[in-house]
Structures are given as C-alpha cells and as structure tokens.
Amino acid sequence: MIQLSKVSKVFALEAGAFTALKDTDLHIGRGEFIAIMGPSGSGKSTMLQLLGGLDLPSAGQVSVDGVALNKLNEKERTLFRRTKVGFVFQNYQLLPMMTVAENVALPLAANRAPKEEIKDTVNRLLREVGLEDKASRFPSQLSGGQQQRVAIARALAMKPRLILADEPTGNLDRKTGEGVLQLLTRLNREEQITIVMVTHDEDAAKAASRIIQIRDGEVVQSTEGVLA
C-alpha cells in the first residue's frame, strides 16, 4: 500500500536547513494497522504529511497504492488527497459553522456527487460511527469523542483504502479514546482499510498490528504489535 524509498524532508529555516526526515525506507502492506511512535519533534507528523500527499519530500519517492506521488502534478495530487486518503487529526478539524451532516458531506460535495447519493452516504456513515441522531447538531454541541467520530465519518466519505490519523486520541480521555480506537480497529478488520496512526500513547499503540519507532527523523525500530 505504501512504499517510501530514500525519503528525506528538509525544511529551510532562517537559521539554516533542518532535516526532519532522513533517508527513510519503509514498506507498509495492504491491511496493516501501523502505529508510528516517537518523541515530540521526531518527524511523525512530517511522515504522515508525505504519505498523504499534503507535502512533497525533498528527496526520494513516496508511492501510495501504486501511485508515485512526486510524479503527480498539483491538480492530480489534490485529487489523490481528496479521494484516496482519509485524514484524521488530533483537533478533529471540523468546520464549526456547518452541521455534523454537512461536515461529513464535504468531501462528497467537493467531488460533485449527486444530492441523493450524498444524503444516503452521510446517513450510512453517521450510522457506522454511531451518531445518526446528531446529524443536525453543530460540532461545538458534541463531546470530543463524538467530534472525532464525525471526523472519521468524513474521512470515510470517499471510501479510502488508507486512513492517516495524527494523534487521533490525543485530546481525548482514556475511555473515549478507547472507543475511537475500537472504531479504527473495526474499520481495519472488517473493511480492510490500511491505517497509519501517529500516537505517543503506548495503550493506543496496542490497537496496531505493527509499531514503527522514529527518533530524530529516522526509523529506528519496527516491531510486531500485540495483536499481530
């Protein structure tokens, strides 16, 4: 599903260049549930951004589902991001002025899906994450765990085969976080969606089938998770 070959990411700063990811090789198979762990500033989010085509590497190649992302032009990369990957962030990134249903509908509307299809899909997705009764609420009227479920429903809208989640339980208490992890685990097992999740929570990482450790922009260890 994912192949990184000699991938580096260098940020140009006033003080000089900073290498956030160094010469990284990594293979992630279809259907894996990966936890990326490592200290703050080690390059976890940078790696996720490269996997999702949100940013391009300074050197090396990122391939996702057989597509070499650096060969895409700007327009193709945007389309890839919108249709092939579901993103989930620590702070949910829901639009506050839109209802739950409208937030989940966004990717479909952006892709100009027919109205009836949008309605059916949104209903199905909200049922899938257990929030069918919250469709007309606004994000601020929901708990953190519920908002993250909305974000996951939105991430599923385009039927991605890959979900990239950056600290999805980082703002949640343990019990609520466990619910979100169970949802991701179910999507991985029942719908064979490949999941790459950044977390610094050891317990959250237990949901994963493989744990990849990053230090200072380098993959230092890759171990089978407890469920593998």
Find, among 173, 186, 130, the residue nearest to 153 by Cα. Answer: 130
d(CA 165, CA 89): 6
The enclosing H or E element of 17 equals strand 16-28
Q: For tokens 């590497």, what's the residue?
A: 57
Residue 194 interacts, among ligand ADP, Mg ion, none and using kind-specific CB cut-offs from 5 to 8 Å, with none
> Would you count residue 20 as binding ligand ADP (CB under 6 A)?
yes
> Would you count residue 215 as binding ligand ADP (CB under 6 A)?
no
> Would you count residue 11 as binding ligand ADP (CB under 6 A)?
yes
> Which residue, 15 or 140, has its beta carbon nearer to ligand ADP?
15
Find, among 227, 190, 220, the residue nearest to 206 by Cα. Answer: 227
We find the least distance from the C-beta atom of residue 157 to ligand ADP, in angstroms, to be 25
Instruction: Spell out the residues 6+ positions from residue 228 whose beta carbon is closer than 8 angstroms to its own.
Output: 209, 210
- Which x/- pattern, by CB under 6 A, does the window 46-85 give for ligand ADP? x---------------------------------------
> Would you count residue 202 as binding ligand ADP (CB under 6 A)?
no
Q: What is the DSSP letter of 161?
A: S
> Would you count residue 43 as binding ligand ADP (CB under 6 A)?
yes
Q: For tokens 């070959």, what's the residue?
A: 5
> Which residue, 24 or 45, has its beta carbon nearer to ligand ADP?
45
d(CA 51, CA 70): 11
Residue 42 interacts, among ligand ADP, Mg ion, none and using kind-specific CB cut-offs from 5 to 8 Å, with ligand ADP
How many of the chain's residues bind ligand ADP (CB under 6 A)? 12
d(CA 47, CA 57): 9
> Which residue, 164 or 187, has its beta carbon nearer to Mg ion?
164
We find the least distance from the C-beta atom of residue 225 to ligand ADP, in angstroms, to be 19
Neighbouring C-alpha atoms within 13 Å toward the C-beta of 125: 27
Q: What Rg do the C-alpha atoms of the chain give, in angstroms?
A: 17
- Which x/- pattern, by CB under 5 A, does the window 22-61 give for Mg ion? ----------------------xx----------------
Please report, as ranges, the residues that interact with Mg ion according to CB under 5 A: 44-45
Please report, as ranges, the residues that interact with ligand ADP according to CB under 6 A: 11, 13, 18, 20, 38, 40-46
